[in-house]
Chain A
Amino acid sequence: MDLDHQTVVGLAKSWGLIYLLVLAVGVLAYTFWPKNKKRFDRAKESILDKDDKPWN
């Protein structure tokens, strides 16, 4: 493939944009998926638990 300026701009405008959007949608979907809420709530409280020893 000839990687000149035009090709790069073309790539950025097509695949680059799609990639950016897919990534954004993916991250947002994961973040706001209702099933994940519990895990996140647990995670954010978890660091405040007593942590004097590793769990076995």
Chain B
Amino acid sequence: MPNFHRKLERSAIGFVVAIIVVSSIGGFVEIAPLFTIDETVEKAPDMRVYTPLELAGRNIYVREGCYACHSQMIRTLRDEVERYGPYSLAVESQYDHPMLWGSKRTGPDLARIGGKYSDAWQVAHLRNPRDVVPVSVMPAYRWLEDNTLRTEDLGLHLKAMSRVGVPYTQAMIDNATNDAYGQANPDSNFAAGVVERYGEATNIRAFDGEPGRVTEMDALVAYLQILGKLTNAATAANVAIKE
């Protein structure tokens, strides 16, 4: 034994291998099975993917670092379920590349924020949170309304998402830019295509209150309004508290 370790140490390479082997085991045992066992992720046949506009909104959510203060993971604890809604299931974030479970609640959890407030409230709140919640410490995101959303490359975004495993069809990828416009402009010719590709239940509205131009505010509000709404798995499972 001592000779073995001495050799290990003498040839620094052996030492390197030892560190890698000893340290890798924990991660391997914990992570590898998550990709294979069925129990990790439940089935949700009704689940739909993010529309291009919602995906763009999600990217703004990421860009502004919203995840630093808002979690999207309701734990299996009574008070959390009563405060935020049914606890989060793994399947609900199966298309989230990356996941935005978060680690800190400086603000409340957002896993089920979709549909809780009107678009107008969300817009006013993002414009200046203190207009609607006087004691809020959230930053004001006034520029979101002014910035036109970059939509011409959304097809590439959907394509990258499909490369990592999200089931976007070729039609979705090809029409991404138009679909983003159509979802924020219910009266336009492009609105019908969104319904056709993403389903009847898709929110098609002028999210920022102004049809015509598609702004970053449109995208972010579209994303917020879909949070927790991509599947009914969590409510359908008649969630009772596990413990």
Contacts and interface: CB of A to CB of B under 8 A. Distances in A.
A12 B29 contact: yes
A38 B123 CA distance: 72
Contact of A19 (B6, B25, B39): B25
Contacts, number: 32
B1 A4 contact: no
B38 A33 contact: no
- Interface size range on B against A: 10 to 19
Interface in B26-77: 29, 32-33, 36-39
Interface residues of A, number: 15
Interface of B: 1-2, 4-6, 22, 25, 29, 32-33, 36-39
26 contacts: A3-B32, A3-B33, A3-B36, A3-B37, A4-B36, A4-B37, A4-B38, A4-B39, A5-B33, A5-B39, A8-B33, A8-B37, A11-B29, A12-B29, A23-B22, A26-B1, A29-B1, A29-B2, A30-B1, A30-B2, A30-B5, A33-B1, A33-B2, A35-B2, A36-B2, A36-B6
